[in-house]
Structure formats: structure tokens, C-alpha cells
Structure 1
């Protein structure tokens, strides 16, 4: 399936704050904001698949792809490249669940190229995925 998202560097958790509950920071994070309606639709399908017994809440950042998760890039001069740009990606229509988070595998050469430009390994760990909800 195809969709698109908007690049957002150092996303805030609350207005004016990058501080996480565990004391960490979201300053060296890059996410691809996904379509909120797509997330709402996929959460609804999950609810139906769970026989309407187990619903999901939207992630704190909404539907998104985590591209960089707290990795300090060796080439920080490229930090912010493409901020606010729309990027197309494809995702596997079969969702998965890990530790209460529901996600879909993603393929997106554009964000992998961006990781390389920043001096990071092309493939992140965990691999690219669209997060749509959690329990």
C-alpha cells in the first residue's frame, strides 16, 4: 500500500518539550508524520479484527514512521535537510504487534538515503515501520 508523510526533526512530546518520561530526549529523532485518517482507519480495522474487544489509542506523535531514534549523526550539518517535505512510502498491509504497539513494515528509499547522508547506517534498528497505535 502507498502513503506519504511529512519529515519532522526533533519532534516535541508536548509543546516546548523534548523530554521523555524516561528522562531521555527526542532531539536526535526524525519521524515521518503519517496521515491521521490512515491511522484512524487502521486502528479501526484492528479493533474489528480483535472482535471489537481490544481497541488501540493513537501514538503520542500520531501515525508516524520513526526514521532516526536518538542516534547522534556523524554528519550533523545535514540535520534538518528536507524538514517539512512530503515523502512517499509503501507499507505492508499486514500489521504486526510488539509489546502492545501495532505497526506495519515500511519501505522508503528517500529516508534511507537521508540516513546515509547524515552518516548513519542505511537500515535502522528496528527497521522502518508505520506505528499506528498502542494498547
Structure 2
């Protein structure tokens, strides 16, 4: 599919709740116009373990509130409202790059997924999100 990338699958989830208690975002914003891809918790656990080993067991990560996930839409109200929630709960295939990256203590992997980019276009949104598609595996803010 993509040289240097590994293929995995996840589940489309629109307007996801934050955590078990339905927490709100730190900035007070809503998750109403969000679309994430829920990824296998074991994939997240494995990638966090590799991150820990790569840092000689000195940088543990905690799992994100949504678990390992790809944020495909982040608070962007779609133009084509009739397509909102299209494919909700469907399985989608994506490819991620094994090398971890870190931004503001969040650890992530680059992702390629034509189906997500096509869905963004169907919803009337720019094809490429900002930031680009990525698999969030954890953060080091309050690592345990």
C-alpha cells in the first residue's frame, strides 16, 4: 500500500464522548463536529511500549482519553450535512508510519488513509485536515 507504512483498521466514530464520564475538552469546546477512527487498544499499548523502550524506560505515556485514535475531523462543521454520520461504526483501513513523533507531549504516528480524505471531501471539507492525519497513541503530560 504505502512503502514504510503498516496497515491497520479502526472504527469510524462521530461526535465521540470524552472518556467514560463524557468529559468536555480542556478548552471547553464540544466534540459535536468531530470524527475519529477508534483504533485497537492493543495497537496503542504496543506502540506506547515501543516508545518506552526507545527511551530506555524513562518516558512512559498514558493512553489518550479516546484511546489510540485518528482525528479525521476536529470541530469543523460539514457543508454537506446530509453526509454527516455516513459510515458511523464502519471499519476502515489505514496505514501508519512506525516512527513516533512528539508535539507538546503528545505522541503520534503519521497516517495515510484515502478513504478518510475522500470522506472529508464528501462532507464539503478541505481534503487535507490541519494538522495532517495522525494516530495519537498517548501523552507524557501525566504519564503513569
TM-score (norm 1): 0.96
Q: Secondary structure at the match of 1:110?
A: helix
Which of 66, 85, 89 aligns to 1:84? It is 89
1:25 aligns with 2:30: yes
| TM-score of the pair, normalised by structure 2 | 0.90
Q: Per-residue CA shift, 1:74-132, capped at 9, x if unaligned?
A: 11111100000000000111110000011000000011110000000000000000000
Number of matched pairs: 135
Unaligned runs of 5+ in 2: 1-5
Q: How does 1:1-135 map to 2 (within 5 A)?
A: 1-15=6-20, 17=22, 19-135=24-140
C-alpha separation in 2, matches of 1:40 and 1:14: 17
| Paired residues of 1:6 and 1:85 also in contact (CA < 8 A) | yes
Residues 7 and 98 of structure 1, relative CA distance in 2, 3 Å threshold: same
Q: Alignment RMSD, CA only?
A: 1.2
1:44/1:118 CA distance change after superposition, 3 Å: same
